[in-house]
């Protein structure tokens, strides 16, 4: 298994391989870049078929967090961790405690948050042995509502703000009354995005593989029910993908009728060149890691004591960042995803030796 010459290595600052035979813990922590601050990213538990698959996943995800946090102007670097194993069978308190002890050994260079296969209670178990876990503190969210740590409401608000910026840029309108939007995936984020859109007067089409989730949006938000086959190809203004990634590919892009793509799901492009394919079709794509940064913003602020207004203002910055991306894309002819990567690189390469603040706040809050 290659490490330094791994195709996804991309000059990672640090990689740790943890093994604890007593509890069965096998984990990898990847820290991509800390020039803006300590690396914050999810701790994923997944039954990887090989060590190679786990390494590839953690490297790719960790790098993505550097870009997401930099683009969101947070004093955070990028990192991620993976625990190799089936969370339904192998996730024990002892294993999570062992993970917490290992994280403590990294001295706060990496801070773990919830991800697929781990939950807020799991992070709290790790937190018995380290203060370097985040997303577990009850706090007041951007809207003044109490939050148990779930960042989905903030993510959804950021997506709504970003969607409005995209609509303004592409369609030249600020009033969303009558705007036609198709939302794919009516889960924690998708339902709330749909709710914001409904409140703003938009007309909604929805699809979710779980009929109950879809019916809720039909009953409570007056949305039209769509089908799995149709949801991406309806004659609407905007597609808001809030389910899974890799849906924009050689097959789907030629059939899209909407001219704006703005949703929460990660890694929407199946291949990097689909960025250009969307631009060639005149479709404005709001890069996923720019528009869905509300969650990381929420986690960052949970322990800083910032007021809801400050958090809200930061989340609303997603709209300004996207507007900058769209303008640069128009003037350079470069597709929006590539522009977002360049803008993120400008933001994390410029910053070195900054941001002890989050460390201090972290230490002070325990």
Q: Which residues of the chain form contacts with ligand NAD (CB under 6 A)?
A: 151-152, 155, 184-190, 207-210, 213, 242-244, 264-266, 292, 295
* Residue 210 beta carbon to ligand NAD: minimum distance, rounded to whole angstroms: 4
Catalytic site includes residue 212: no
Residue 18 or 157: the one with the smaller Cβ distance to ligand NAD is 157
Residue 76's closest CA among 41, 109, 36? 36
* Distance separating alpha carbons of residues 93 and 218, to the nearest angstrom: 40
DSSP H or E stretch at residue 165: helix 152-171
Say if CB 62 and CB 290 are below 8 A apart: no
Whether the CB-CB separation of 366 and 135 falls below 8 Å is answered with no
**Nearer residue to ligand NAD within complex by CB, 128 or 210:** 210
Which tokens belong to 123?
């992070």
Residue 329 CB, shortest distance to ligand NAD, in Å, is 22
334 secondary structure, DSSP code: -
**Least distance (Å) between residue 59 CB and ligand NAD:** 18
C-beta of 94 vs 244, nearer to ligand NAD: 244
Q: Are 268 and 290 in contact (CB under 8 A)?
A: no
Q: How many angstroms separate the CA atoms of 112 and 124, rounded?
A: 11
Q: With respect to ligand NAD, which residue has the nearer C-beta, 230 or 280?
A: 230
CA dist., res. 175 & res. 168, Å (int): 9
Among 68, 80, 91, 198, the one annotated catalytic: 80
Of the two residues 190 and 335, which places its CB atom closer to ligand NAD in the complex? 190
CA distance 115 to 82: 9
**Least separation in angstroms between CB 64 and ligand NAD:** 11
- Minimum Å gap between C-beta 290 and ligand NAD is 11
Cα-to-chain-centroid distance, residue 326: 20
Q: Which residue is nearest to ligand NAD (CB)?
A: 187
User: Strand 110-113 relative to strand 39-46: parallel, antiparallel, unpaired?
Assistant: parallel
Active-site residue list: 80
């Amino acid at each position: 298994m290659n490490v330094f010459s791994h195709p996804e290595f991309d000059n990672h600052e640090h990689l740790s391989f943890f093994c604890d035979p007593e509890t069965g813990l096998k984990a990898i922590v990847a820290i991509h870049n800390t020039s803006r601050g300590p690396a914050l990213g999810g701790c994923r538990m997944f039954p990887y078929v090989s060590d190679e698959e786990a390494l590839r996943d953690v490297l790719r995800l960790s790098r993505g967090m550097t870009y997401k946090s930099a683009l969101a102007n947070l004093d955070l670097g990028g990192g991620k961790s993976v625990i190799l194993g089936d969370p339904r069978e192998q996730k024990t308190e002892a294993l999570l405690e062992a993970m917490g002890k290992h994280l403590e050994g990294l001295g706060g260079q990496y801070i773990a948050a919830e991800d697929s296969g781990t939950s807020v209670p799991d992070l709290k178990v790790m937190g018995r042995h380290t203060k370097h876990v985040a997303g577990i503190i009850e706090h007041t969210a951007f809207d003044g509502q109490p939050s148990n740590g779930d960042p989905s409401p903030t993510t959804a608000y950021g997506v709504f703000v970003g969607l409005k910026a995209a609509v303004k840029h592409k369609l030249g309108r600020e009033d969303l009354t009558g705007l036609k939007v198709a939302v794919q995936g009516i889960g924690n984020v998708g339902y709330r995005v749909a709710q914001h859109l409904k409140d703003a007067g938009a007309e909604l089409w929805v699809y979710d593989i779980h009929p109950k989730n879809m019916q809720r949006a039909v009953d409570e938000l007056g949305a039209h029910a769509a089908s799995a086959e149709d949801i991406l190809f309806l004659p609407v203004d905007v597609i808001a993908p809030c389910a899974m990634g890799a849906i924009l590919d050689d097959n789907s892009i030629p059939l899209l009728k909407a001219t704006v793509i703005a949703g929460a799901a990660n890694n929407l492009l199946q291949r990097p060149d689909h960025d250009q394919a969307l631009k060639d079709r005149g479709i404005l794509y709001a890069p996923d890691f720019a528009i869905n940064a509300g969650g990381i913003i929420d986690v960052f602020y949970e322990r800083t004591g910032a007021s809801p207004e400050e958090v809200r203002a930061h989340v609303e910055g997603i709209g300004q960042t996207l507007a900058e991306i769209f303008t640069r894309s128009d003037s350079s002819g470069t597709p929006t995803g590539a522009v977002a990567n360049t803008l993120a690189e400008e933001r994390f390469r410029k910053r070195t030796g900054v941001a002890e603040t989050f460390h201090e706040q972290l230490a002070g809050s325990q």
